[in-house]
Structure 1
Amino acid sequence: MENSEEEKKRPPEGEKTTKRKMKTAGQLELLEKTYL
């Protein structure tokens, strides 16, 4: 079980996917406006 916790603490590709999934349409729009 310790391994699972460590993997959750620093996920390589999982972090990017989770962060992308967490982003809502409003947040994405804000980011686009900021980037543009």
Structure 2
Amino acid sequence: HDYALLQGAFLVISVAVLVANFLADFLYILLDPRVRLGGN
């Protein structure tokens, strides 16, 4: 049961980190229109 709990917590944290990184990049692009993905 402990293994399942740790696995679930790891999954939730991983998803939260991915979402946070995506939102941070998205907000950065909105706040600074000069920034574009793949741009120099």
With normalisation by structure 2, the TM-score equals 0.31
Give the TM-score taking structure 1 as reference length.
Answer: 0.31
Query: Larger relative CO (CA 8 A, sep 6+): 1 or 2?
Result: 2
